[in-house]
Amino acid sequence: MTTAPPTLAPAGGASAEPPHPIQIWPDDFAARYRAAGHWRNETFGAWLRERATAHPDRPAVIGGDQRWTYAELDRRAGALAAGFLDAGLQPGDRVLVHLPNVPDFIAVVMGLFRAGLIPVYALPAHRITEIEHFAQGSGARAYVAAAAHAGFDYTALARELQARQARVEHVWIAGPTASTPGATTAAEPAADPFPRLSALYAADGSAVPASASQGSDVAFLQISGGSTGLSKLIPRTHDDYIYTLRESARICGLDADTVFLGALPIAHNFPMSSPGFLGTLYAGGRVVLSPSPDPESCFALVERERVTVTSLVPPLLLQWLDRAPASGRDLGSLRAIQVGGAKLSAEIARRVRPTLGATLQQVFGMAEGLVNYTRLDDPDELIIHTQGRPISPDDEILILDDEGRPVEPGQTGHLLTRGPYTIRAYHDNPSANARAFTEDGYYRTGDVVRMTPEGYLEVQGRAGDHINRAGEKISAEEIEDHLLSHPQVFDAAVVSVPDEYLGERSCAFIIPKGDRPRPADLKRWIRARGIADFKVPDQIVFVDAFASTAAMKISRKALRAQLRAQLLEQERAAA
Ligand code: OOB
């Protein structure tokens, strides 16, 4: 038996179509998680109202020239909720949110939650190909984007999206228009026809109820790192996500005095909820947003706003460590630096306290659910060498060998998990679900881990074929598909290569068809397909053929492993 709700209308979004149930947790598990007090039927809309009532004048969100109190954030969320509904959106409709680290991001998602609308998160680096894929998969009816950010014109993307996906009826643009001084655009774009988000802030949201949702409803769709093929959509409920916020805030010691710096893109699950900006607001603290992760912008904000905690990926931590001593900034308010998204080496981990004067907290998590933390008062040995232990006593962990049998204690194996905040299925994706979940509901993480005697996990590697480039996950298959559609590419295999700075970089092996394309042209061409920049191969190697086995057949996975080994061998020989 599985719980019938939560339900989402099928991709297509029209409310007239029959909703199809997303099977999330079986009833007996759901009952257990409720009885344990994990799921409390809290909703985002209601808790924001509670916080705003309890401490209206406390600062909540700071970014650019905006400083909003809890009352102001609540008012803006209400106004946006009213504005979205007045425009014709209906509870349950999906809305693509494509915003950088600006206060509008937080108001928009809180407004959507309040109205019972479902945000679908995209990263600022995503381009038309990814956005169209998310729009298609979620059946989104609306798109909210910045006018421009980091030199990219999102209004042009919005136009293209509507041309390709007629279902996306509504577009709202946040921030200065592309022709406003200060907005960064290459050429002078045509004036866009889209309504401004700022106009919605004028709506009267006082009649909108604090929450249109139940705890068990799907609150939003997060995107997967995309280990095989294109990203999948991850349905998270109010109950399960708020549980992680409450426990993350407790484990990370957040309270009203916490000042969290959003340095990584806050659409990502890590700075969103582990404990991230949502955990900080849940705890009544304040969120400071940096439009760019670069150390200089971040250090200035740390000094000015007395930031106490932030979350970084390992390459960014490395930059912080290198630049902090000579920055001339007072970073003395920092109490904890969280690092996750990719493996942190013990050597770098050791430098955190002496250089930044803060406690390191390792975070090993995934948008599908499971999050592990080292605890702030753990012995150094665990903080430096492990990626932490799970949030919940009800997180079930399996470590299995290649045949699916549990490994001996302390041995390395494949990590599978289920629990009160790990999804049981992707949104509307039966084939991915069949691969990623066992029959009894465990999620196959694709990570290879070992467990220490203390119950902490050490990430050893992964089984899947994705590239973890500075915490951004790139699917080899997705990039191969793009390369294969180039007229001068006969075959392509994309592999990860260890990289001192990025952790891993991507290398594309190409068998040319006829004349070899120039690597720079190939990169330009793949970028022009409208994909995130971080997915463009870092390195291109031309080969005449792929070595094949005697049987003349070799799996893609084995081929990638073979090519990767060859490249590493050549690099070793050349060194
Ligand atoms: C986080 O989420 P995703 O969904 O972008 O990526 C999840 C994958 C994990 O399966 C693992 O392969 C890798 O990223 N990963 C780590 C790691 N944290 C994540 N690998 C080694 N060490 C770590 N500390 O990346 C994410 C979500 C929530 C919190 C933190 C990270």
Please say if the pLDDT value at position 575 is more than 80. yes
Handedness of CA 421, 340, 469, 94 (dihedral sign): positive
Ligand 1 atom with the smallest distance to the CA of 311 is 30
Lowest-confidence pick of 64-78, 218-232, 360-374: 218-232
Query: pLDDT category, 548, cuts 50, 70, 90?
Result: low
Measure 361 CA to ligand 1 centroid, in angstroms. Answer: 14
Ligand 1 atom with the smallest distance to the CA of 462 is 12
Summarised one tens digit per residue, pLDDT across range 330-347 is 999 999 999 999 999 999
Q: Which of 366, 371, 456, 459 to mutate to test the pocket of ligand 1 (most atoms within 8 A of CB)?
A: 366
Q: Which of 248, 384, 417, 473 to mutate to test the pocket of ligand 1 (most atoms within 8 A of CB)?
A: 473
Q: What is the mean pLDDT of residues 37-44?
A: 98
Question: Atom 9 of ligand 1 has which residue's CA nearest to it?
Answer: 366
Measure 425 CA to ligand 1 centroid, in angstroms. Answer: 18
Question: Atom 22 of ligand 1 has which residue's CA nearest to it?
Answer: 343
Q: What is the mean pLDDT of residues 19-46?
A: 88
Measure 451 CA to ligand 1 centroid, in angstroms. Answer: 17
Summarised one tens digit per residue, pLDDT across range 467-489 is 999 999 999 999 999 999 999 99
Ligand 1 atom with the smallest distance to the CA of 446 is 10
Query: pLDDT category, 187, cuts 50, 70, 90?
Result: very low
Ligand 1 atom with the smallest distance to the CA of 274 is 29
Q: How many CB atoms lie within 10 A of CB 498?
A: 11
Summarised one tens digit per residue, pLDDT across range 393-450 is 999 999 999 999 999 999 999 999 999 999 999 999 999 999 999 999 999 999 999 9
Measure 390 CA to ligand 1 centroid, in angstroms. Answer: 13
Summarised one tens digit per residue, pLDDT across range 51-70 is 999 999 999 999 999 999 99
Cα→Cα distances 420→26, 125, 396, Å: 11, 31, 9
Summarised one tens digit per residue, pLDDT across range 142-160 is 999 999 999 999 999 999 9
Helix (H, G, I), strand (E, B) or coil at 338: strand
Q: Average model confidence (pLDDT) for the chain?
A: 92
Question: Atom 12 of ligand 1 has which residue's CA nearest to it?
Answer: 447
Yes or no: say if 488 and 515 are a contact pair by the CB < 8 Å rule: yes
**Residue 511, exposed/middle/buried by CB under 10 A (0-12, 13-18, 19+)?**
middle
Ligand 1 atom with the smallest distance to the CA of 459 is 21
Please say if the pLDDT value at position 17 is more than 70. no
Name the one residue in this structure whose structure tokens are 């710096």. 261
Question: Atom 8 of ligand 1 has which residue's CA nearest to it?
Answer: 366
- Cβ neighbors of 93 (< 8 A, separation 6 or more) are 9, 13, 15, 117, 118, 140, 141, 142
Measured CA to CA, the distance from residue 193 to residue 273 in angstroms comes to 34
Question: Atom 19 of ligand 1 has which residue's CA nearest to it?
Answer: 341
Please say if the pLDDT value at position 226 is more than 80. no
Helix (H, G, I), strand (E, B) or coil at 473: strand
Measure 366 CA to ligand 1 centroid, in angstroms. Answer: 5
Name the one residue in this structure whose structure tokens are 């390459």. 315
Please say if the pLDDT value at position 186 is more than 80. no
pLDDT at 553: 62
Handedness of CA 506, 477, 436, 97 (dihedral sign): positive
Measure 250 CA to ligand 1 centroid, in angstroms. Answer: 21
Summarised one tens digit per residue, pLDDT across range 490-544 is 999 999 999 999 999 999 999 999 999 999 999 999 999 999 999 999 999 999 9
Q: What is the mean pLDDT of residues 272-290?
A: 98
Residues with CB under 6 A from ligand 1: 225, 269-270, 274, 340-343, 362-367, 371, 387, 445, 447, 459, 462, 468, 471, 473
Measured CA to CA, the distance from residue 346 to residue 121 in angstroms comes to 32
Query: pLDDT category, 263, cuts 50, 70, 90?
Result: very high
Measure 355 CA to ligand 1 centroid, in angstroms. Answer: 25
Measure 365 CA to ligand 1 centroid, in angstroms. Answer: 4
- Cβ neighbors of 18 (< 8 A, separation 6 or more) are 10
Please say if the pLDDT value at position 21 is more than 80. no
Measure 262 CA to ligand 1 centroid, in angstroms. Answer: 17
Measure 573 CA to ligand 1 centroid, in angstroms. Answer: 32
Q: What is the mean pLDDT of residues 356-364?
A: 98
Please say if the pLDDT value at position 12 is more than 80. no
Ligand 1 atom with the smallest distance to the CA of 224 is 4
Measure 438 CA to ligand 1 centroid, in angstroms. Answer: 21
pLDDT at 179: 47
Yes or no: say if 461 and 446 are a contact pair by the CB < 8 Å rule: no
Please say if the pLDDT value at position 190 is more than 80. no
The rounded Cα 509 to chain-centroid distance in angstroms is 28
pLDDT at 23: 59
Ligand 1 atom with the smallest distance to the CA of 367 is 4
Ligand 1 atom with the smallest distance to the CA of 471 is 25
pLDDT at 254: 98
Measured CA to CA, the distance from residue 562 to residue 482 in angstroms comes to 21
Q: What is the mean pLDDT of residues 181-187?
A: 45
Query: pLDDT category, 464, cuts 50, 70, 90?
Result: confident
pLDDT at 181: 44
pLDDT at 444: 97
Question: Atom 30 of ligand 1 has which residue's CA nearest to it?
Answer: 365
Question: Atom 7 of ligand 1 has which residue's CA nearest to it?
Answer: 366
Ligand 1 atom with the smallest distance to the CA of 445 is 10
Q: Which of 345, 364, 417 to mutate to test the pocket of ligand 1 (most atoms within 8 A of CB)?
A: 364
Measure 340 CA to ligand 1 centroid, in angstroms. Answer: 6
Residue 85 amino acid letter: L
Measure 151 CA to ligand 1 centroid, in angstroms. Answer: 28
The candidate with the shortest Cα–Cα distance to 446, out of 346, 506, 368, 338, is 368
Q: What is the mean pLDDT of residues 127-154?
A: 97
Measure 191 CA to ligand 1 centroid, in angstroms. Answer: 40
Measure 473 CA to ligand 1 centroid, in angstroms. Answer: 9
Note the ipTM here. Answer: 1.00
pLDDT at 377: 98
Q: How many CB atoms lie within 10 A of CB 321?
A: 17
Please say if the pLDDT value at position 4 is more than 90. no
pLDDT at 2: 42
pLDDT at 540: 96
Yes or no: say if 561 and 501 are a contact pair by the CB < 8 Å rule: no
